[in-house]
Chain A
Amino acid sequence: MLSQIKTLWTVFVHLFKRNETVQYPEEMPYQAPRYRGRIILTRDPDGEERCVACNLCAVACPVDCIALQKTEKEEDGRWYPEFFRINFSRCIMCGMCEEACPTYAIQLTPDFELCEFDRDNMVYEKEHLLIDGTGKYPDYSFWHVAGKTITGKDKGEAQNENKPEDVRSLLP
């Protein structure tokens, strides 16, 4: 009996406590920068597409919602996606693609409002996904850190680049 009365009192006191409810459409809840929402494709600081069409994101995706096709640039042979398609009606916002991406091209944003009346509108093409900015890693450019051989220039001959280490010289 006493415990019932104590319960009643505890619940009654909650009448005067602050409500936890967030009035969503009017009042946005706080979204952490690393919240996993809508997926974007970013560009590097030079304004080029970061994506190198390596297909790792498509492999990592547990629900197979990413589809892309590789093509090459004529002038330097760098890879880039010919098309890049994410089906958001399948996407579970797990962030595996972001983890798999070697160039920080694919990133998840705090935007979670992905509602459409038509299911077809949930399929995002490259022009919908690609943004103008660099996303979460403003200074990172994959081609400055790693790259493919350029004609007439061997490994270690580029600007600000050391010679590759001869592993045998490290022997004691």
Chain B
Amino acid sequence: MFFENINWSYVLILPLIGGALGGALVLVWWERRLLGFFQDRLGPNRVGWFGILQSLADAIKLITKDDWVPPFGDRVLFILAPIIVAGAMLMAYAVLPLGPGLIIADSNIAILWILAMSSLAVYGVLLAGLASNNKYSLLGGLRSVAQMVTYEVFMGLSLLGVVMLTGSFSLRDVVHAQEDMWFCIPQCVGLVIFLIAGLAESHRLPFDLPEAEHELTAGFHTEYSGMKFALIMAAEYLSLILISALIVVLFFGGWLGPKFLPSELLSGIVWYGLKVVLVINFFILLRAAIPRPRYDQLMSLGWKILLPLSLLNILITGAILLGTQ
């Protein structure tokens, strides 16, 4: 039974949810601050120590704001949508290893589980767009569905190389398989494809077409305000953390330190955290630097470049694996 795979570590659930949501809050501030530095500004630095309480102030503002439900829309679906987005994102954290042995559910289908949850998160976006009964929301929802369904394909395909090298869907096995060499070297193509697909899955700039504020005001969450909006935003940052942690686990050795350094230099969880923060900062750099592509460019990039590339990656990885066995 799959219950046997879940060990005593449900204790981790509450700290993980708290940590992830707190991390999302801090990340909102850190992103704005870092974007400021990239643009020769300072960013928010007023509230608290270096402005670190800015997100808290924003959260208080969002809680006390009028939580408006459009009378012209679909009330039930409108309320359901942010819950689905945030819920699916938090569910995906269940199989994410946080360190050696620190994992809530060490499932043997962890990678598939994460793909499944990110595909369920599409519903939240879709229903938000549909229930708002607003043309911008609808367009944003349509775009996001096309984008997420498209990029889910490459997300899955780019991971297949890693899965083939590991021989398992379990994220713990993936990390243990990287003891000799991190997968970012043999799977560099997979890494690039996964990075792009992850950007598109979490609607990060440059792939934030679902909410492209210059064209669609705010895309699928145009009508959202107050805590529902906060939930959607939190889900977005949660997915950013999730994608960064996944990149670290799948391609950069998880909690394993670099081989040329003595292994007792830093503990595994510190290595893990350091790498995740680095990847998050890289995502923020991407946001600061790369402009948003046009919608058809996004689609043709996906189907005409990334799909053949990821298939080739699988083919070559498989051939090398067969040849060396």
Tell me if chains A and B make direct contact, with any CB pair below 8 A.
yes
Residue numbers of A with Cβ under 8 A of B are 4, 7-8, 10-12, 14-15, 17-21, 23
Contact between B290 and A14, CB atoms less than 8 A apart = no
CB closest chain-A residue, reference B287? A11
Interface string of B35-58 (1 = CB under 8 A from A): 011111110000000000000000
Contact B42 A7 (CB under 8 A): no
Contacting residues, chain B, for A4 (C-beta < 8 A): 289-290
A21 and B41 in contact, given A7-B289, A11-B285 (Cβ under 8 angstroms): yes
Chain B 16-44 interface residues, beta-carbon cutoff 8 Å to A: 34, 36-42
B298 adjacent to chain A (CB < 8 Å): no
- Count of interface residues, chain B, beta-carbon cutoff 8 Å: 13
The digit string for B255-288, where 1 denotes a CB below 8 A from any CB of A, is: 0000000000000000000000000000001101
26 contacts between A and B (CB under 8 A): A4-B289, A4-B290, A7-B290, A8-B285, A8-B286, A8-B289, A11-B38, A11-B285, A11-B288, A12-B285, A12-B289, A14-B37, A14-B39, A14-B40, A15-B38, A17-B40, A18-B40, A19-B36, A19-B37, A19-B41, A19-B42, A20-B40, A21-B36, A21-B41, A21-B42, A23-B42
Given A7-B289, A14-B40, A19-B40; 18 other pairs, CB 8 A cutoff: A4-B289, A4-B290, A8-B285, A8-B286, A8-B290, A11-B285, A12-B289, A14-B37, A14-B39, A15-B34, A15-B37, A15-B38, A18-B40, A19-B36, A19-B37, A20-B41, A21-B36, A21-B40
Cα separation A8 to B291 with both chains bound (whole Å): 11
Give chain A nearest CB distance to B10 CB in angstroms.
Answer: 41
List residues of B whose CB falls within 8 A of some A CB.
34, 36-42, 285-286, 288-290
Query: What is the CA–CA distance of A19 and B36 in the complex, to the nearest angstrom?
Result: 9
The smallest beta-carbon distance between B293 and chain A, in angstroms, is: 11
Within 8 Å CB of A17, what residues of B?
40
Q: How far does the alpha carbon of A12 sit from the alpha carbon of B286 in the complex, in Å?
A: 10
With the chains together, A117 CA to B148 CA distance in Å?
Answer: 49
Contacts of A10 in B (CB 8 A): 289
Closest to A1 in B: B192
Please measure, in the bound complex, the distance between the C-alpha atom of A15 and the C-alpha atom of B40, giving whole angstroms: 7
Q: How far is the CB of A3 from chain B (nearest CB, A)?
A: 10
Bound state CA distance, A19 and B39, in angstroms?
8
A148 to chain B, nearest CB (A): 57
Residues from chain B with Cβ under 8 Å of A18 in the complex: 40
Instruction: Report A-chain residues with C-beta under 8 Å of the C-beta of B289.
Output: 4, 7-8, 10-12
Q: Which residues of A contact B42 (CB under 8 A)?
A: 19, 21, 23
Residues of A within 8 A of B34 (CB): 15
Chain B proximity of A24: nearest CB distance (Å): 11
Residues of B within 8 A of A12 (CB): 38, 285, 289
Provide the bound-state CA to CA distance between A4 and B36, in Å: 20
In whole angstroms, what is the CA distance A14 to B41 when docked?
10
Q: Please give me the residue from chain A that is nearest to B289 by CB atom.
A: A11
Expressed in whole angstroms, the Cα–Cα distance for A21 and B285 within the complex equals 20
Task: For residue A26, give the distance in angstroms from its CB to the closest CB of chain B.
Answer: 11
On whether the beta carbons of B38 and A14 are closer than 8 Å, the reply is: yes
Q: Inside 8 A of A14's CB, which chain B residues have their CB?
A: 37-40
Nearest B-chain residue to A23, judged by Cβ: B42
Chain B residue contacts of A23, Cβ below 8 A: 42
- In the bound complex, how far is the Cα of B70 from the Cα of A139, in angstroms? 67
Among A4, A11, A17, the most chain B Cβ lie within 10 Å of the Cβ of A11
Q: How far is the CA of A8 from the CA of B288 in the complex (A)?
A: 8
* Interfacial chain A residues near B286, Cβ < 8 Å: 8
Bound Cα distance A14, B42 (Å)? 12
